[in-house]
Structure 1
Amino acid sequence: MSLPAEMRFIDLPSFGAPDVMTIATGPVPRPRPGEILVRVEAAGVNRPDVAQRQGTYPPPKDASPILGLEIAGEVIALGEGVNGFKPGDKVCALANGGAYAEYCAVPEGQALPWPKGYDAVKAAALPETFFTVWANLFQMAALTEGESVLIHGGTSGIGTTAIQLARAFGATVYATAGSEEKCGACEKLGASRGINYKTEDFAAVIKEVTGGKGVDVVLDMIGGAYFEKNLNVLAKDGCLSIIAFLGGPTVEKANLTPIMVKRLTVTGSTMRPRTAEEKRAIRDDLLSEVWPLLEEGKVASVIHTILPFDEVVEAHRLMETSTHIGKIVLKLR
């Protein structure tokens, strides 16, 4: 397939509300050494996209300034040194930027084949959330079979992924969400108990359901607002893994005694600044440990809404309402 000179992409002329984004035309990127060029068929929408649009999450210096972190589509060109893929391969990939476009160049080590039976939309809903959950829940927090985990934001893209993977690997899962419907969705995905944070005290519920022991891991995207309560619900030698700050990044006052008394670990990370080597290692784990689960139907991408590429403004508005259960995906082809 010959490469066109230009493509459509979502431009961000200024930071602000969703309607600052516009459709624009620009040059098709050329793959650098170690990269593949993908003709994008679908792109996932994620919280970091919203943060970048608002001006609080700048892309790395060498990344595309175009929004978007995950794609699915067809490989159409290879950069120098690429040997793991060939033109015509159907892939999904974690992009460093540039996913809201008809063509996107991504490092070879951040791409995976579509799971068997998947189409572009289902595949595009995988990379950002699965990379993030695997790195934070399994690599850093070391969740293992027989342990328990509390997942905040259980119906977000991260939450629906984390619930399924934790259950698939033999953990007992509890999850918070903001309505009875959402709590029911968490339980359907594998949570033993959905906790409505608007009507229940999640710390009291966890104390009750664990007989006072607490959970081994907390996966948190709220941040400062939940910090002290998260420490209190952890069992001895537990781990708090922080991946976002929807409730603010600061803690004005907190009792840190549980960290010492219970030998707790507090950790966290963002995916985008990780090195190519680190992302490749996560990719390799996903391919060997998680892709078979996807192909067997034991774990699946959970998709709330599919919108045409031209409706990216509506996609971001929906993301900001937090009413969705699962992923929001843009369809380009």
Structure 2
Amino acid sequence: MARTMRAIGIKGGKGPADALFVDTIPVPAPASNQALIKVKAFGLNRMDLLQREGQYPVPPQAPSTLGVEFSGTIENFGDYAGKDFAVGDNVFGLAYGAGIQLSKADNASAIYVTAGSQEKIDFCVDKLGATAGFNYRTQDWASEIQKATNGRGVDVVIDFVGATHFQGNLNVAARDGRIVQLGQMSGSTLPAGVDISGFIRKRLRFEGSTLRSRDEQYQKKLRDLLVEHALPKFKDGSFKIFIEKTFPFEQVAEAHKLLESNRTKGKIICTID
């Protein structure tokens, strides 16, 4: 009889948080250069919300099972001749890094954030080390960043929000700056009146990026960079991991609802007994 395991399923294939349930599916067989991980805990990601709602196309090489951030132990391998890992090793993948802390570690001259509440802004400044933060609900955040930089703007903009921040991103980007789009929480259709002249006037670069659909070689390079550059800082405590709340695996619907509330500051974790 084939081995089975528990996994998060979605009733009807897509839907609201209440459509989530604990399903029973066959245990996958690891292919060449893959490992089978017995997951002990996993973190929620905005991508999980989009996938649950049917708005995130799953890459061909990825399973439809929800979840991308995990920690656990290696149970077995496919055809693997490497020496980096062994059965029983504790491992994690796509763990939370806090981009503010990475920027600070690389000696960024200033780090500005936008958030929807003063509580989140205080968290980013007091706990993570941002220079200043601005409330996109109550402030003209782009104008405030321009004031803070004496009109110069910022060299790199990293945006997860999308449509509603697009014009502001163009406004705050410095000459020869770069805008990196990593998400589209507010949608992908731009509002009327967006002025794209800044691309030419400031010689701006705009690029989008994803991780899950990248090939194995790219992901390996990124993993090696994480191990070399960030992992030592997690070990010595230089980088802090902030956890908002931990849920048992069976309460994943409640965990999704909390993430959807936009009240969270740290990671939401689900644990598996």
Aligned pairs (5 A) from 1:267-306: 267-306=207-246
CA distance in 2, matches of 1:28, 1:57: 24
Q: Look up the equivalent residue of 1:248 and give its one-letter code.
A: G
Q: Does 1:176 align with 2:114?
A: yes
Are the equivalent residues in 2 in contact too, given 1:303–1:327 (CA < 8 A)? yes
In structure 2, the partner of 1:242 is: 181
Mean CA deviation greater in 322-331 or 293-302:
293-302
- TM-superposed CA distance for 1:62, in Å, is 2.9
How high is the sequence identity, in percent, across the aligned residues? Answer: 38
Are the equivalent residues in 2 in contact too, given 1:241–1:266 (CA < 8 A)? yes
Segments ≥4 residues shifted beyond 3 Å: none
Q: Does 1:53 align with 2:58?
A: no
How well do the aligned residues superpose, as a CA RMSD in angstroms? 1.4
Aligned pairs (5 A) from 1:135-146: none
Q: Look up the equivalent residue of 2:233 and give its one-letter code.
A: L
In structure 2, the partner of 1:311 is: 251
Query: How many residues end up aligned between the 2 structures?
Result: 267
In structure 2, the partner of 1:255 is: 195
In structure 2, the partner of 1:70 is: 69
In structure 1, the partner of 2:8 is: 10
Q: What TM-score does the superposition give when structure 2 sets the normalisation length? A: 0.94
In structure 2, the partner of 1:232 is: 171
Unaligned runs of 5+ in 2: none
Are the equivalent residues in 2 in contact too, given 1:40–1:74 (CA < 8 A)? yes
In structure 2, the partner of 1:167 is: 104
Please give the secondary structure, in 1, of the residue aligned with 2:157.
strand
Q: Look up the equivalent residue of 1:169 and give its one-letter code.
A: D
CA distance in 2, matches of 1:318, 1:54: 16
Please give the secondary structure, in 1, of the residue aligned with 2:263.
coil
Q: Look up the equivalent residue of 1:270 and give its one-letter code.
A: T
Query: Per-residue displacement from partner, 1:73-107 (whole Å, max 9, x unpaired)?
Result: 1111011024221011100024xxxxxxxxxxxxx
CA distance in 2, matches of 1:229, 1:64: 36
CA distance in 2, matches of 1:272, 1:23: 23
CA distance in 2, matches of 1:82, 1:177: 46
Q: Look up the equivalent residue of 1:163 and give its one-letter code.
A: I
Q: Look up the equivalent residue of 1:59 and give its one-letter code.
A: V
CA distance in 2, matches of 1:191, 1:202: 15
Please give the secondary structure, in 2, of the residue aligned with 1:207.
helix
- TM-superposed CA distance for 1:58, in Å, is 2.5
In structure 1, the partner of 2:206 is: 266
CA distance in 2, matches of 1:234, 1:164: 21
- TM-superposed CA distance for 1:194, in Å, is 1.5
Query: Per-residue displacement from partner, 1:200-232 (whole Å, max 9, x unpaired)?
Result: 111111111111111111111111111111111
Are the equivalent residues in 2 in contact too, given 1:12–1:66 (CA < 8 A)? no
In structure 2, the partner of 1:90 is: 90
Q: What TM-score does the superposition give when structure 1 sets the normalisation length? A: 0.77
Q: Look up the equivalent residue of 1:42 and give its one-letter code.
A: A
